[in-house]
Every structure is written in structure tokens, then in C-alpha cells.
Structure 1
Amino acid sequence: MAEKTIKVTLVKSVIGTKQSHRATVRGLGLRRLNHTVELQDTPEVRGMVNKVSYLVKCEG
């Protein structure tokens, strides 16, 4: 059975956000606006996405 993945895209700038939220975005592997990464669908990743949900778009 294949590993489940989700695609996360940074859709809003991190300028003016909390330092911990910037670190979370970097931890997800997102570097610049409209950058998309494919990550394993784990509770840890879901929590990170949930924390910065106002900055990212998640699909899959």
C-alpha cells in the first residue's frame, strides 16, 4: 500500500507573521510564495498545516 501524501502550497506571505509561524512554514519545506511540496500525511504534518492554515493551501 502506497504512503498517503498531501500537497501543501504557500499562498500568503510570511512577512508580518509570528516567528513560530515562520518557523513552521520553513519546517514544512516551503521557501517562497506559490511553492508546493508533497509531504507524508501524518498527524505531525497535519498539526503544522493546521497551525498556519491561513498561509497555506492543502490538497489531497
Structure 2
Amino acid sequence: MAKEKNQTVRVRLVKSPNSCQGRHRLSVKALGLRKLNDVRELKDSPSVRGLINQVSYLVNVESDA
């Protein structure tokens, strides 16, 4: 059996969510980002990708390969 490689994605908050839609603020909170330049390493899954796509104008993404 081959071991599965844990795919992660690194997300950095680069713009403040203060003046954006409430749903987008909740998405940033769901990603675990609180302050500017805050970085989280999350499991790469469709639900996380959906949150990132929704707030793509607020975050920068690095995928770890």
C-alpha cells in the first residue's frame, strides 16, 4: 500500500475584511485567519478551496507540494 501524501495549502490574510460582505468575513474566520499577515496551513480539500475562492481578493495562497 502506498502512503497518501498529506496535501496542505498555506493561506495568508493580506487585506482587511472590515469593509467587505458579512459572508466573506465569516469565510475568513472559518479559515482561521484573524489579523493581517496571519498564516494558516490547512488541509487541501474542496470545502477549504471553496472558502479560499470566495475570499480570493483578501488572501494569498501557497500550495505545499
**TM-score exceeds 0.5:** yes
Distance, in Å, in 2 between the alignment partners of 1:15 and 1:37 is 19
TM-score by length of 2: 0.89
User: Which runs of 5 or more residues in structure 1 are unaligned?
Assistant: none
1:53 Cα deviation after fit = 0.1
The RMSD of aligned alpha carbons is 0.6
The total of aligned residue pairs comes to: 60
1:37-52 aligned within 5 A: 37-52=40-55
TM-score by length of 1: 0.96
Structure 1 stretches of 4+ with a deviation exceeding 4 A read: none
Do structure 1's residue 54 and structure 2's residue 57 form an aligned pair? yes
State the percentage of identical aligned residues: 48
Aligned to 2:19: 16
